[in-house]
């Protein structure tokens, strides 16, 4: 199995010769074909790194997860799980299908090992998303699956709560946890939901609906909120105060950044969208440290942003995270990064 993972640098050269979004789609197709082969499935099953952790009351096989955004429609859950992740998060899903922002909308900055994207929650909608999730075997085999929800671009921000509640209703019985994405920079005004009053109202509505759904389905599904790395200290403090007040179980820190300080002078640095990759690591660490100071030990923090080595995964944990998620590091390093991170945490 290590031969398959270590062959990624050869595949990357071919993928990086393609348009980034096309390469993304091609990679998912290749992963799916590989997973559909019975022999490959046997190899990957024997290569799963095990380092049990409990986060938000959920038993993770290891604390290295896949961040949302890579599989927006939840169509490749089992194939991605075979890469060794301890938990998988898919989405962001919106109530109605939407195409996202105009193309091109994803850009590589190889010298900085970064990406800029302005995808805009492109997805096939809630019904298709749920059907894909139901077809996957990951949860039936004991895997932990997070479902990430958002609002449609056409929904006015003052009605955003309605979209989140509709998504929560749909995904609740199919999720091990639900992430509320209020931090993508690519949906107009979405980040305004991180302000104190807007977040207070949103979390209150979600908690009330979660209580009703828990009664309906006989189980309490954890809720997490995904926040931006560009928040001011007082904004982080406000989030840290509101999250436990409304019974929210976790915070995912962080999404992509609007800052370009680390990529000045590089091709594409002036493209609109969220920057991901190594520059986000330090921003994320600062947010995690401040959150942990304010939250104490009770609220889970999942650290994400700029992890491209096992050492950086460990730094997230040392800053106060309970688990980590990968995305851009996978694009540049390949699936061997998953095991490297697990081994560093071990």
**Position of tokens 């809630």?**
126
End-to-end CA distance of the chain: 20
- Contacts of residue 276, defined as CB under 8 A and 6 or more positions apart, other chains included, come to 114, 115, 116, 117, 256, 257, 305, 306, 327, 328
- The CA distance from 30 to 187, in Å, is 30
CA dist 243 → 64, 103, 207, 237, 246 (Å)? 23, 36, 10, 10, 6
What are the start-end ranges of the H helices in the chain?
Answer: 2-6, 8-15, 20-36, 38-45, 77-81, 126-135, 160-171, 196-217, 233-245, 279-295, 310-319, 328-333, 336-345
- Tell me whether residue 116 is exposed, middle or buried, using C-beta atoms within 10 angstroms of its C-beta: 0 to 12, 13 to 18, 19 or more: buried
3-class SS of residue 212: helix
- The CA distance from 238 to 236, in Å, is 5
Is 136 annotated in the active site? no
- The CA distance from 1 to 38, in Å, is 14
Out of 184, 276, 284, 309, pick the active-site residue. 184
CA dist 62 → 46, 65, 141, 307, 322 (Å)? 15, 8, 15, 16, 11
Catalytic residues, by residue number, are 184
């Amino acid at each position: 199995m290590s031969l398959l993972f270590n062959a990624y640098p050869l595949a990357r050269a071919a993928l990086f010769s393609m348009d980034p979004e096309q390469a993304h789609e091609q990679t998912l197709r290749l992963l799916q074909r590989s997973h559909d082969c019975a022999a490959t499935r046997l190899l990957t099953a024997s290569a799963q790194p095990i380092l049990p952790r409990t986060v938000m009351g959920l038993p993770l096989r290891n604390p290295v997860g896949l961040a949302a955004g890579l599989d927006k429609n939840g169509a490749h859950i089992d194939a991605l799980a075979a890469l060794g992740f301890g938990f998988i998060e898919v989405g962001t899903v919106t109530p109605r299908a939407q195409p996202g922002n105009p193309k091109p909308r994803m850009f590589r900055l190889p010298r900085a090992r970064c990406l800029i994207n302005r995808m805009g929650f492109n997805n096939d909608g809630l019904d298709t998303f749920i059907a894909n999730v139901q077809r996957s075997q990951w949860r039936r085999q004991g895997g932990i699956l997070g479902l990430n929800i958002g609002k449609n671009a056409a929904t006015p921000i003052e009605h955003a709560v309605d979209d989140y509640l509709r998504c929560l209703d749909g995904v609740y019985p199919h999720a091990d946890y639900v992430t509320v994405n209020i931090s993508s920079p690519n949906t107009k005004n979405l980040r305004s939901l991180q302000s104190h009053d807007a977040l207070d109202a949103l979390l209150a509505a979600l908690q009330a609906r979660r209580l009703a759904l828990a009664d309906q389905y006989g189980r309490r599904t954890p809720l997490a909120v995904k926040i931006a790395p560009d928040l001011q200290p007082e904004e982080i403090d406000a989030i840290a105060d509101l999250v436990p007040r409304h019974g929210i179980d976790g915070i995912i820190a962080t999404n992509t950044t609007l800052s370009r300080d680390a990529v000045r002078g590089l091709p594409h640095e002036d493209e609109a969208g969220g920057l991901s990759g190594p520059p986000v690591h330090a921003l994320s660490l600062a947010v995690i440290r401040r959150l942990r100071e304010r939250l104490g030990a009770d609220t889970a923090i999942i650290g994400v942003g700029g992890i491209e080595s096992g050492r950086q995964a460990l730094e997230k944990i040392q800053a106060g995270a309970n688990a980590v998620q990968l995305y851009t590091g996978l694009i540049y390093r390949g699936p061997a990064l998953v095991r490297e991170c697990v081994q560093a945490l071990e």
